[in-house]
Structure formats: structure tokens, C-alpha cells
Structure 1
Amino acid sequence: MPKLKLKPTTQAALLLLALSQLTVQAQTPPPAQLEQVLVTGSRAKDRSLLNSAVPVDVLSQEDLQRAVAGDGNLAAALQTLLPSFNFPRQSNSGGGDHVRAAQLRGLSPDQVLVLVNGKRRHNSAIVNLESKTGKGTNPVDFNAIPFSAIQRIEVLRDGAGAQYGSDAIAGVINIILDEARSGGEIQGQVGGFHTRFEPTHETIQDGASRELRGKLGFKLGEAGFVRLGAEAAHRDHTNRAGADQLPPWEDQSPANLAFQGKRNYAPGEPESDQLALWLNSAYALGADAQAYAFATWQQRESLGAAYFRYPDSSANVKALYPQGYRPETTGKSRDLQIAAGLRGSLGADKAWDYDLSFNLGRNDFSYGLRNSLNVSLGAASPSQFQLGDFGTQHLGLSADFRRELALGLAKPATLALGLEARRESFRTRAGDAASYSVGPFDGTPGAQAGPGLQAGDAVDLSRQLIGAYADLSADLSQDLFANLALRADRYSDFGSALTAKLSGRYVLAQGLALRGAASSNFRAPSLAQTGFSFTVTDRGEGGSLSQVRTLPVGSAIAQALGAEQLKAENARNASLGLSWQPSKSASLSIDAFDVRVKDRITLSERLSNEALTQLVQTRFNVAGVNGVNFFTNAVDTHTRGIDLVGQWTQQGILGGELRWTLASSYNKTTLSHVRNTGAALKALGIDKPLVGLEESNTLTAAAPRDRHVIGANWHNSQWKLLARATRHGQTTRVFDFGGGYTPSQTYAAVWQLDLEAEVKLTRQFSLSLGGVNVTDRYPSRSVDDISYFGNFPYDVLSPVGFNGAFYYARARYSF
């Protein structure tokens, strides 16, 4: 895989040169977190963590800084700080190695809405077909958002479709960009894994990382600002393969047996290079108007692992790879978001606040292979392949208005109205012909660890939508606050959605309040789920060609097999909780939630038999289709849980301040209804459910049902010390290999300990040393039926990961 053209040393020099040209001042510290006004979950101007009607977490820049150290990416930091957030470490999972999906409250990765500065973030382009979590989705790529750009993150743990539209079933994550008007920072970090790997009884040091970030800010006119930054990172891969036992179906030849006991596979973290730029700005156009703009850009190249191919294997051509080979998947992601707008006040009395905005989001993903071959092409096969190109884009225009209303209450009410229009598109482009072509030689056609996207599967899809909302909130009495929101959305491809939300907060006593919400929410099927097409060609009995196809639901073949046009997922959310602040230095909240999702979209099981093959050939003149699957609204799910969040600050402890934090989450998802197999499939003799054992396991038990985080942060004028203990709950893995062979395993809960110490050597310069998972904990060892003959001793499901302890050092210069 080609490296980025700018080396880290060159990038550092450019950053230092740019920063040296500006005179800047010290930054102003952020306000106290508990009193900070929220911009997520309510459009009233005076909501904070102390008086919010719905549960919202606020993660400060300092919180995120300490949480990101181990993995260097945003999603891993969110998992560290939010027990309800899950970010599994996919490996040997095709596109899932390059763009990883995350979950909130155990729901699907595409059921959480991500905003940047309150504007909708676009989805990633790659469709994950091989990953465990998020199979069949193309959710938001959190790691494409530059970490240094973030000032804070607000996480709304409640359905918010009536306020923000599609996807906000599990909640909303709003990433607020840095808007400091002066000051800057240069930060560098190095780190790596050092672990005792019991499956092979060796000590491993790998996964070295190097990161460099820089940012600065300055005033623009009297009331404006520009804040900008750049960052670059390189991370080496890790390898946690066990000793190979050689699968019994492989030829037991001397050449193959020579690889027994060796580490031939490479499950672990992918190698990656990334470069990112960002900008956040505003400029006053007068006393009552302000123009603003922000942008983020990232390019990331990554290298994933695939299964080993033995020398004497039907998947090898010995003239090319006499010692066997292990293909590597390559990914190149280019990600861009640009937003600009005008905000201010209007009307004779300046009563209306307005925000008119433009928002463009785009992701392009190029997917490839190296160190591979197409067996059917023989010795003429290339070793590198382009498997396909994927692109997604959205263009949005929105108009938001807000004013206060005098309704005779103790305080004015807040009325908010808004309109949104958006165009979304999704496209795929075929891979190299050699990546999927059928050559003259025996063996599986198409690139090994591929194949590529065929020309007939390329699609170019788009749709338009328009939405409108109304939001009214008011303090109905001194003790009671209420918020009512209504929203209507119209999509050009599947129809309309109407959602509503009612939330409230009632003060029971000084510092103690009851809060709750009830809402309807929806998620529109993504364009990828509506129209994605993919074909795998193979050789059947007697050398005849056969196909396994992922069909668009609107295709003639899928329709003949009973596929129906996808409907939106519809959810009913309810929550009830208590918030308690016994003193200025302590707070505690507990919230129970209930989410019922109807018509949940999943990728069906593979459907196949001779009658299906014959039907497709006789009716559509397509020979050799011996298996199909398609997206379907096949299940309803029911998720219940409880979140607990608390903090307590003590002054004067060893001459400093000590802050204790507690966060705990429990959720359980069950399948409340599974659709019966349709008449068309039953007529062909196919009676198995569209959602089978593996997907049912993904929806219900593959994510931990509980996680608990206990943290202690101590600091004085010179030192900052952090200790954080996390208990990751148990997970269950189920495989269905066919023929009744369905091995399963439940992985036990695991504790993880993170430590960090930071010393301020001067007013501007600090050094940090830390470790993530310093006790070097691993998940339970996988049983023989799941470890793939010793090659994968640990599964990807546990949030503790399977890489062991990570240690790092960081230097930071602020000015």
C-alpha cells in the first residue's frame, strides 16, 4: 500500500512554520461542565446538565484527550468514556477492517444520528458484508473526524427523531468543534503494544504508533474567529494469531504440514496512515448577523488481513506463491464535510433568531487487494486488484427559526420552527476485470479474499427528502418544564414519516428532579440497503459456473422470490429517570429506557436450493444462481436498559482536587417478532426464516449487555493523575456453519485498568506517560470450534480487544 506523500517530520515542520508566523494569547478555560448550556436535546436557551429533561453526557476536550491515547481515534475514546457506546475491533472482516461500526445502547450502528456543530454528518461509503457488528450497514465513520478539532461532545441518550429526523433511534452524538479565538497547541505522541501472548507463550511488541497534531486560533474582526488545525498519524499493524493446526480439509502434504505450529494468519489492528485538516470560523456582518463556516477533511489508507492460503491448496498457484500467501485488503478513504451559513436575529423587535445553512458531506472509498491472485487465470494472474469504488454524498439546506413567547408563565416559552431539504446519493463502480473474471483454469474464479464488484452490479442511486418540524418548550411552573416536538419528513423513494416527542422534568425537592420522555422515531433505509448489488462467481459440480448474489430488493429476481420494498424502521421510545445534585460538588442520575423497533432492516440469510436455481434460469434466463440474499424488514426488536452516571469532586486532597466519576449501563435486546418466510420461497421448498441464527445473535447478544466505568482524576497546579477501571460485560458468539453445526461460546466479563500521569514542566509545556489495559487482560480463549484450528484464539466481540497492554508518551506545547 503506498504511503502518504508527506512524512511525519515534514508535516511537523510545516505546522511549526505556520504557527511561528502568528502571535497568539493563552486560551480561556471552558465553563464548569454541569452548568454548561446544552445545544443538543432541546432548543431552549437555558438547558444544562443540571436541568435537562433527557439524559445528555458532555465530554470535555480534556476528557477526550485522556481517553484517545490508547487507540488514537474518536470511536475508541467514546467507548472508553461512555458505557452505552460499543466499538468492536473487527479483524479479517473485509471492509469492516477499514471502516468500523459503533453502537449506542446495543442498537444498530445506523440507528444513532451524528451531528457536527448541529449539522448532520454523512455516512461512510463502504458496505460491510463480512463484519459481525453492523453487517449490511454503511454507518458514520467516527474516525474520519479530526480529533484535534473537537471542543466537546454532547451525547443525547434518547430518541430524537422529532427534533432531528432519521436515524436518531438510539440517540444523538453532537460533536462541537473548537472555537477558541486565540491560542494554539502542538502535540505529539508515540506508543505501542507490549503484551504477554499466552497462546504462543511469547512476549510481543508491535502496533507502534506516531501521531502529530497542531491547531491555532485568532480573532477575525471584532466578534469573529478562525480556528484551524492539522494532524497526521501512522499506526503499524498488530498480529494476535495462534499456532496454526492446519484445517483437515487442506492437503496434508509435506509443503502444507511445514506450516503447522506457525503463526500464518494475522488477526489484529490494521496498519494505517492518515492526514486530516479542519477549520471552524465565524465573522460578524453587523450587530444582528454572523456568517459561519466549518470543514473537516481526512485521507486514510489502511491495510487489513485475510486468511492464509497454503502452498498445496486449490486456492493457490504454486508458480506464483510456492510458499503459500496471505492476501491483504487495502482501503483508501477520502472524507469531506463543508458547512456554511448565516445566523442572527430579525424582525422589528429582533425577536426571531434564525440559522440558514448549507451542508455538504462526501465519502469516497477505494477497496483493493494485494498479495493475492485469481486462481482461474493461472500463472498469468495479477497479484494486485482493485475490488471496487464506493461513494456517498449528501447535500442539505436548512432553515431554523427560534423565538421566545410570552404565554403568561413564570418564564417565556421557546418556539422553534424549521425546514430541511436534502439530496442523498450512493454509487458503486466495478473492480478490475481480473478481480471477478472466470479464467480457463480450474479453481475458484475471482480474486482470493475478494472478489471484485462486477460491472453488472454497479449502481448510481439518489433520492430527495424534505422535512419540517415545530418545537415548543416552556417552564409550566416553577418546578415543571415540558417540551413538545413534531416533525414530518417526505422521502422520494419510500414515503413519509411523522414523528413526535414529549419530554418533561419535575423538581421534587431542592436538587432532586424526575425526568422522562416518550417519542416516536424512524430510520429511513439507506440507499445502499435499497440498491446495493454484489455477485460472487464460483465453479459448481462438473466445473459449471454458479453464482451467489446479493440482490437489490427492487430487482425482478428478488421480487419473484418474495422480496418487498423496504420500509422505514419505526421505533417507540420511552424513558424515565431521576437526577440528583446534593451539592455543588456531586451529582447522580439514573435513567431507564425502553425502545421497540418495528420493521428492523437486516440482510437475509443465504437462500438456496435446486428449485430456486431452476426458477431463476427459466423465468429470467440467468443460469447457475445457486444462492441469493437481500435486505428485508424481517424482525421487530425490543431493547430495555438502565444508565447510571455520577460524579463527586473533593477539594484539598493532597493539595489538589480529586474528581470521582461513575458511569454504568445495562441493556438487553430481544426479538419480539420474526416474519414468516414468504409464500414465494415456501413454494420453492425454502422454509427457513429470513433472519437466521447468526444475525439473531448479532442483534441480541453479540454486544455486551453491561459496562461499568469508575474513574479517579486528581490534579494540582503541576500534576494530573488518572486511574480508570472498566468492567466489560459478557458477550456471546454463535456461528452457523450449516448442516446443524452451530458452535457458540459466551465470553466472560473482563476488567480493564488505564493509568496516566501528566506533569507540567513549564506554563506551556507538559509531558504525559500512560497505559491502556496495563494489567494486560484478554477476553476468554475461544473454544476449538470457534478458534479456526488455533489461528484465532480470541474473538473480536469483547470491547477489551485482543491486543493486550498499550503504553504511550505524549508531549504537548500550548501557547
Structure 2
Amino acid sequence: MKAFTLSPIAATLMAASFLPGAYAQENTPGSPDSAEQEAEQILILGSRRPGRSVVQSNVPVDLIDEETLGAGGFNDISRQLQNVVPSFNFYQPSLVDGTEHIKPASLRGLAPDQTLVLLNGRRFHSSALLNLNGSTGRGSVSVDLNAIPSAAIKRIEILRDGAAAQYGSDAIAGVINIITKDAAEGGMVSVSGGSYFTELDGVPELLGIQVDDQGNIIPNENGSNRVTGVYGDDIHRNDGENINLAANFGLAIGDDGFVNFTGEIANANRTNRGGYDDGDTYPRNADGTFDERELSVDRNRFNFGAPDSESYTLLANAGYYLDNNVQLYSTLSFQDKESISGAFFREAADEGFFIQNIYPDGFTPQIRAEIQDWSVLTGIKGSTENWDYNASVVTGSNEVDYTTFNTANPTFLQQTPTSFYGGQLANQQTTVNFDASRFLDIDTLFSPLSFAIGAEYRLDEFEISAGDEAAYTNIQATGDNGEPVFDENGNPVYQSDRLFAQGALYFSDAAEVDEDRHSYAFYVDLDADITQRWNVTLAGRYEDYSDFGSTSNGKIATRYTFSDSFSVRSSVSTGFRAPSLQQQFYTSVSTNFINGEALEIGTISATSPAAMALGGSQLEAEESTNVSVGFTWTVIDNLTITADAYRIDIDDRIVLSETLGNDADEAAVVQQVFSENNIEGVGAVRFFINGVNSRTEGVDVVANYSIDDVASGILNLSVGANYNETDVSGVVASAGPSDLFAPETLFARRERARLENAAPGLKQMPQQTGRAKIYR
């Protein structure tokens, strides 16, 4: 018998049908009883209608103030939001190279680059980093939320609904708008610190190594290359010591302006959640027994946790009022950050390295990322007799420089350098906006029609600069006669079969990129009360990109207010996400461990000859359809429940292909392509594809109860939950003109599982905060 399943949207509709409605006391949202509360809840997101409040929103919007953000004890935006927003997930992977330094975050279980981030209502640039290794968000380019100091935040608005028709590319899952402080006086200074006290449940302490009666180390029954340990209780660790110093203050500029400054210094030591390494460290003795140094070597050498980091962050927000109700405004942000993470441990027993004299006890390469992030927003806004207008220019940049130390390039043998500059990633974005809105009196409508139009121009630029040539140099072996050595097939033989700097992030001359693109958009918003209880919002957007072409998208959202205590809301929209320049042009080589073996993996442009031969093609935009339905219910005074179900269908989703060439059946085909395209030293390859269609379904439920006059403030109790499920509904990747691989080979079980299991299926969030408010 076929099982019956109830979709989140259907379940929410059924729940709404049993809730109280018309018999509740009727007060319009703008009545005097609610005026004071609404004054604190004015939104920028969701509608361009001036003065729209949370309770009047047709789509779910979270408004989170600074007290609520800080109540969880964290000093960075990402973990603060993780603590208070059920549908927000901040991932903290380890051993994933660059992703450890700029970590991804997402809404509603979608990719990090499917959420748009705004700073003071304007688009904030993404990072230069492309998430490549085996973490959630693999293949995406995320915004570094932590480049904005949390002490500068006045509030955060999160629109949990598809909004590409209103705000453009990336807003498939929703929009996060960070509003910074604008006080002209006062301020604060805070110092905080801490560390982690952790028990690794089920991971025992290694107390020693077992030996037999002759004093020889006993091999592990699970592998002859491992020792047999003597273990105690579970590991207890105290690490991750951190300190944060933040200051904020406001200054008046005459009688008509302000400037608000925030500075933040943060330092954190690394954490380690890895167990002890019981693998052999040194070459075996002539009789096959373990080297006696195995008894005393440090086995706590496998780094798995947060990196060492130090950052200096500044933000200034300013405004000045001219005559005729015109305001000049500007926001500047800057962050300088250094972060150090570890790669896999390399054993001295591995004869392939030939560098035991340099690292007699083995070595763990260390990757240092030096990150500079800055943004400058300037604009002017004001009103004429009939129109409100807002014009702005924002330019933002993110640069990441990599250096790998405590490493070696084995092809240099004993003459290898031990530190390599890997090169730089740089991403810059400039956006020009003009918005205008007004009210139009329409006799058939209950209230004036809010009419908004706007235009946007955006320039994206992406660069890869090469690092030290020694990091990717291969030295050919020579014979006794001093001549280069070739194998029987005429291929060069190198001094080591382990090419390139070990554990390094680096870019060669061939990987250098300097690409840009531009786009322009036109959009329109309409917002009207059809009757006293029924509101409808319409939005449309046309956008044209210089690389993949144009797209048009629309949205309709509506809300029906049965009473002052109960409303039903729903929306339907289409959206898109443009492929990032990183996804189109990123090229690099890195060392990955597959089935325990080190393999040099090449990431190549989707339109390179090699990728085209293996199934690559010009990337197109992702296209989405969002449907949501929900309700808001004030059960009693100060107790509000909201529930919103959603379904998000994404076609032509951009994903990173499977790694082609590490499978024996693929190796011959891939190596033939490498040979035809002069690709050397790479064992396998991957590239981006419009690979799959997906469907994400879920429901957000939040209950808030506030108690006034508690310790001269407000006690806010909140319980929230997010249920979310993503399924790959179809694999659509083309096998390419050569038809070498089937779609199932380009996107197979491993990548499918990573996409479908990226976010937790159920996330629950009880919380209690004092002197704080969170509105939904």
C-alpha cells in the first residue's frame, strides 16, 4: 500500500482552518492600542511600501534587535543568528582548506549563495572564496557575515521567502538585511572572553603503546600499519581560548548629522576535536618491526576543529540632513583577518616524500589565510511633493592571500622550501541603485496604492593571482648521464611521485584569472489594500547579464486579516541565481585524500577544452519557484504564534561535478583528455555544471511570549522550530559533446547525498532573553 504523506503547506493550511478567527476582538493593525508596539517594528524588507510593519507583512520576516543577538554569549553575527533563528544554519567544517577561514551560512537548507545579504538595505558583496572541499555548501560562494562587527548592529531583518523578483540574484531562500547603529551620542565598551571545556564522548585517551614480551610494539588487529594503544577514559580538552574587545560610540555633526563608529578586536586559539593517531610514524626496521620511537612520538597531531584567528574590524555609519528633507548617508566597513588551519598529517614513514631529514617525525602543513574585506556605501535619499527617492553606490571587495608553511614540495628532495606563498583570490562588486516610490489614490481600493520603481547596475570582478612557482614546480629525474628520464610511453619521470607543495593552497600561472561582467535591472512593486482586511503585493523584475543573458521574474504576496489576532498570508514567486564568476572561471590544484590515498585534484573552468570534453558547458542561471503559506495568531496578550510552510523548486541548480578520474573505469578516459590538453601532474578533475533540479519543503513555527516590567525590562521567551527536507528531483547534467560520461557519472551518489543532507531535518530553538525583543 502506498504511504500517504502530508506536505508542509497542506499541513499548515489544515492547522489554520481550525484556529479562531472572526469571533476575536477586532482592532485594525493601526489602532491606537497597537501604535506604540508597531512603532518599534517598522521594516525595510518585504515591501517597498513606506511604514510597513512586521504585523502587516505578507511574508515571514524576523526582526531581531541587538539585545537578542547578544543574549547567547557569542560575538560574531553568524553564531548569534544560529542561536535565535530556526531556519538559519551556520556550518563550522574542518579540514576543508579555505572554507575553514570564511565559513558558510544558509537559510532554509539551501546553498549559502542562495541567500542575499544587504547592509543597510543595499547589496553586500560576496567573498572571493569558493567552497570546494567536502563541506556543506560545496561549490558555493558565500558572504562573510562576520566581516561586519556585531557591536555595530542595531537590528537584523530576515525575510524568509523567495525575493529575487524584488531584490535580484541570490534571493531564492530569502534576504538578510543588517541595519547598523545610527546614534549621534552615547556608546559602549565591552570585553569578553572564554574557552571550551569539551569531553570527546566515545573517544578514549591514549595512555601508551602495547608491547610484547620482547619489547616489540604490537600491530593493531585492524591494520598492520597501526600500533595497538593502551586507552583510558574519554578525552577531556580545554582549548579555543578567545578574547573580544569591542567599542561603539556616536558623534553629532552639527545639529543635522551624525557619525557612529564601531571597532572590534577578536583573537581565538584553535580547537581540536580529533582523536589520537595510531598510525605508524617512522619507516619500519629491517626485520619489519616498528621503530621504537613510536613509543614516545606525539600522537595528538590530527587537527580537526576551528582555526587560530585574529581580526581587526571597523565600521562607520554616517548621515547628514540637508534642507528640503534630503539626507546624505554613508557606511564604511573594513576587516583585516588572519586565520591558520591545519591539513592532514604526513608520516615520516611515507617513503614517497624523501624528506625525513627535514621532518624526522612527520609534519602537518599549516595554511595561513590573510583576508582583507572592505565596503563603501554612499547615497542620497529624500522626498519631493509626490515621490520618495533613494540613490546609492556601493563598492565592496574581498581578498584572500594564502601561504602554506611547515610543508615541503617533495620533487625538490632535500632542497625543498618549507613555506610557499599560494597566491591571491580577489572579488570586487560595484552596485548602483535608484529607487522611487509614491502613493496613488485609486477609488476602488481601500487605501492608496503604493507604487515603486527602480533600476540597478552591477559590475562583478574576479581575479586569481599566482603564487610561488616553487609550490607547483615538478623537477624531472635525471639518469647517471645527467639526461632527463622518460618512461616507456615517453612521459617524463619526476624526482618524486608526490608533486606540488604538500597540503598547500596555491595557484599556478595557468590558473590566473581576470574576469568581469556587468548587469542591469529594472523593477516595479505594487502594494494595495483591496479591502480593509485584504492586502496584495505584486513585484516584477527584468535583469540582463553580459555573460548568460536576461531573465524576468515576478511575485505575488497576500494577507487576509480575519481579526486583530489572526491573519493568513501566502506568496508565490519565481526567482533566479546567476552563476558566480568563481564558479565559471576558478582554476586550481589541491591535494585530496580519497580512500586513504593522496590525489592531486584539478578544478577547472566549465568552458575549458578539457571540461567541455568531459561534459562541461557554459553555465546558465538557476531558476526557482517559491510557494509559501502561513498564519500569525495572537493567542493571548503578549503570546504570538507564527507558522509558515514553504516549497522551493530549483531548476538547473549549479553544482560541482563528481571528481572524474579517481575511479579505475574513468582513469583512462580522463588521462586521455589530460594528454590532449597538456594537463600534467593532476590525477583527477572536477568542474561546475547546471547539474540537477531540486525541491526543498519545510515549515517554520515560532512562538513568542513577552513579560513586561521584569527587572526594569522585558523578558522574552521564545520557542522555534524548523523542519526542512531537500530532494534531488532530477539529474539534468549533459554528458557533453563527446558523450564520454552519463549524467549519473557527473553527479552521482556522493554529491547527491551532500546536497540532500546539507541542513538538519529538524532544528528546535528554545530561548530565554532578558531586556530583549524579537518580532516575527
- Return the TM-score normalized by structure 2: 0.83
Distance of aligned partners of 1:319 and 1:502 in 2 relative to their CA distance in 1, 3 Å threshold? same
Q: Deviations over 1:641-685 (max 9, x none)?
A: 000112112346799753211111111000100126616454x46
The match for 1:105 among 108, 111, 126 is 108
- Provide the residue aligned with 1:464 in structure 2: 518
- Provide the residue aligned with 1:668 in structure 2: 725
Q: Give me the whole-angstrom Cα distance separating, in 2, the residues matched to 1:163 and 1:652.
A: 40
- Provide the residue aligned with 1:376 in structure 2: 411
Q: Give me the whole-angstrom Cα distance separating, in 2, the residues matched to 1:35 and 1:432.
A: 55
- Provide the residue aligned with 1:455 in structure 2: 509
Check conservation: 1:547, 1:624, Cα contact below 8 A: yes
> Would you say 1:690 and 2:746 are equivalent positions?
yes
- Provide the residue aligned with 2:19 in structure 1: none
Q: Deviations over 1:238-297 (max 9, x none)?
A: 112212121799967416744788222121111111001111011112122111101110
Q: Deviations over 1:446-468 (max 9, x none)?
A: 11112521111111110000001
Worse-superposed segment, 376-385 or 201-210: 201-210
Distance of aligned partners of 1:588 and 1:40 in 2 relative to their CA distance in 1, 3 Å threshold? same
> Would you say 1:356 and 2:394 are equivalent positions?
no
- Provide the residue aligned with 2:606 in structure 1: 553
* Pairwise CA distance, 1:130: 1.6
The match for 1:312 among 346, 349, 354 is 349
* Pairwise CA distance, 1:40: 0.5
Q: Deviations over 1:579-623 (max 9, x none)?
A: 112344121110000000000000101223354246436644556
Counterparts of 1:154-233 in structure 2, within 5 Å, are 154-198=157-201, 199=203, 200=205, 201-233=234-266
> Would you say 1:422 and 2:458 are equivalent positions?
yes
Q: Give me the whole-angstrom Cα distance separating, in 1, the residues matched to 2:711 and 2:144.
A: 42
Q: Give me the whole-angstrom Cα distance separating, in 1, the residues matched to 2:46 and 2:712.
A: 38
Letter in 2 for 1:74: I
Gaps in structure 1 of 5+ consecutive residues: 1-29, 539-545, 723-815
The match for 1:290 among 327, 332, 346 is 327
Distance of aligned partners of 1:253 and 1:382 in 2 relative to their CA distance in 1, 3 Å threshold? farther
> Would you say 1:634 and 2:691 are equivalent positions?
yes
Distance of aligned partners of 1:622 and 1:713 in 2 relative to their CA distance in 1, 3 Å threshold? closer
Distance of aligned partners of 1:625 and 1:448 in 2 relative to their CA distance in 1, 3 Å threshold? closer
The match for 1:494 among 548, 564, 567 is 548
| Secondary structure at the counterpart of residue 68 of structure 2 | helix
Q: Give me the whole-angstrom Cα distance separating, in 2, the residues matched to 1:55 and 1:243.
A: 47
- Provide the residue aligned with 1:801 in structure 2: none
Worse-superposed segment, 312-321 or 328-337: 312-321
Q: Give me the whole-angstrom Cα distance separating, in 2, the residues matched to 1:586 and 1:34.
A: 19
Worse-superposed segment, 334-343 or 659-668: 659-668
Counterparts of 1:573-592 in structure 2, within 5 Å, are 573-592=626-645
* Pairwise CA distance, 1:223: 3.1
- Provide the residue aligned with 2:584 in structure 1: 530
> Would you say 1:74 and 2:131 are equivalent positions?
no
User: What is the number of equivalent residue pairs in this alignment?
Assistant: 676
Q: Deviations over 1:124-167 (max 9, x none)?
A: 11222224112122210111111111100000000000110000
Q: Give me the whole-angstrom Cα distance separating, in 1, the residues matched to 2:277 and 2:696.
A: 40
- Provide the residue aligned with 1:702 in structure 2: 758
Distance of aligned partners of 1:617 and 1:269 in 2 relative to their CA distance in 1, 3 Å threshold? closer
Percentage identity across aligned positions?
Answer: 35
Letter in 1 for 2:439: E
Q: Deviations over 1:716-769 (max 9, x none)?
A: xxxx9x9xxxxxxxxxxxxxxxxxxxxxxxxxxxxxxxxxxxxxxxxxxxxxxx
- Provide the residue aligned with 1:367 in structure 2: 402
> Would you say 1:644 and 2:701 are equivalent positions?
yes
Letter in 2 for 1:403: R
Q: Give me the whole-angstrom Cα distance separating, in 2, the residues matched to 1:171 and 1:192.
A: 34
| Secondary structure at the counterpart of residue 128 of structure 2 | coil
Gaps in structure 2 of 5+ consecutive residues: 1-34, 206-233, 478-494, 593-598
Letter in 1 for 2:374: L
* Pairwise CA distance, 1:537: 9.1
Check conservation: 2:503, 2:591, Cα contact below 8 A: no
- Provide the residue aligned with 1:120 in structure 2: 123
Q: Give me the whole-angstrom Cα distance separating, in 1, the residues matched to 2:584 and 2:62.
A: 34
> Would you say 1:236 and 2:265 are equivalent positions?
no
Q: Which has the larger radius of gyration?
A: 2
Check conservation: 1:246, 1:259, Cα contact below 8 A: no
| Secondary structure at the counterpart of residue 50 of structure 1 | helix
Q: Deviations over 1:93-130 (max 9, x none)?
A: 10011111111110001000000001101011122222
Q: Give me the whole-angstrom Cα distance separating, in 2, the residues matched to 1:619 and 1:384.
A: 33
* Pairwise CA distance, 1:695: 1.5
Q: Give me the whole-angstrom Cα distance separating, in 1, the residues matched to 2:507 and 2:327.
A: 47
Q: Deviations over 1:213-236 (max 9, x none)?
A: 111112223332111121101111
- Provide the residue aligned with 1:18 in structure 2: none
- Provide the residue aligned with 1:598 in structure 2: 651
Distance of aligned partners of 1:433 and 1:679 in 2 relative to their CA distance in 1, 3 Å threshold? closer
Q: Deviations over 1:21-51 (max 9, x none)?
A: xxxxxxxxx9857851110111112321211
- Provide the residue aligned with 2:359 in structure 1: 321
Q: Give me the whole-angstrom Cα distance separating, in 2, the residues matched to 1:618 and 1:433.
A: 22
The match for 2:567 among 502, 513, 519 is 513
* Pairwise CA distance, 1:434: 1.4
Letter in 1 for 2:253: L
Check conservation: 1:681, 1:687, Cα contact below 8 A: no
Letter in 2 for 1:354: Y
Q: Give me the whole-angstrom Cα distance separating, in 2, the residues matched to 1:318 and 1:137.
A: 38
> Would you say 1:444 and 2:479 are equivalent positions?
no
Letter in 1 for 2:311: Q
Distance of aligned partners of 1:416 and 1:677 in 2 relative to their CA distance in 1, 3 Å threshold? closer
> Would you say 1:339 and 2:392 are equivalent positions?
no
Q: Deviations over 1:788-810 (max 9, x none)?
A: xxxxxxxxxxxxxxxxxxxxxxx
| Secondary structure at the counterpart of residue 456 of structure 2 | strand
Letter in 2 for 1:45: P
Q: Give me the whole-angstrom Cα distance separating, in 2, the residues matched to 1:626 and 1:333.
A: 30
- Provide the residue aligned with 1:8 in structure 2: none
Worse-superposed segment, 526-535 or 458-467: 526-535
Distance of aligned partners of 1:297 and 1:503 in 2 relative to their CA distance in 1, 3 Å threshold? same
Letter in 2 for 1:459: V
Distance of aligned partners of 1:76 and 1:515 in 2 relative to their CA distance in 1, 3 Å threshold? same
Q: Give me the whole-angstrom Cα distance separating, in 2, the residues matched to 1:460 and 1:108.
A: 26
> Would you say 1:262 and 2:299 are equivalent positions?
yes
| Secondary structure at the counterpart of residue 721 of structure 2 | strand
Q: Give me the whole-angstrom Cα distance separating, in 1, the residues matched to 2:674 and 2:279.
A: 39
Check conservation: 2:281, 2:347, Cα contact below 8 A: no
Distance of aligned partners of 1:681 and 1:668 in 2 relative to their CA distance in 1, 3 Å threshold? farther
Q: Give me the whole-angstrom Cα distance separating, in 1, the residues matched to 2:39 and 2:569.
A: 17
* Pairwise CA distance, 1:427: 0.5
| Secondary structure at the counterpart of residue 450 of structure 1 | coil
Q: Deviations over 1:184-204 (max 9, x none)?
A: 111111111123334223432
Q: Deviations over 1:521-577 (max 9, x none)?
A: 100000000111123599xxxxxxx97432211212222333121110000000000
Check conservation: 2:589, 2:682, Cα contact below 8 A: no
| Secondary structure at the counterpart of residue 79 of structure 2 | helix
The match for 1:42 among 41, 47, 50 is 47
The match for 2:58 among 53, 61, 64 is 53
Check conservation: 1:35, 1:50, Cα contact below 8 A: no
Check conservation: 1:436, 1:537, Cα contact below 8 A: no
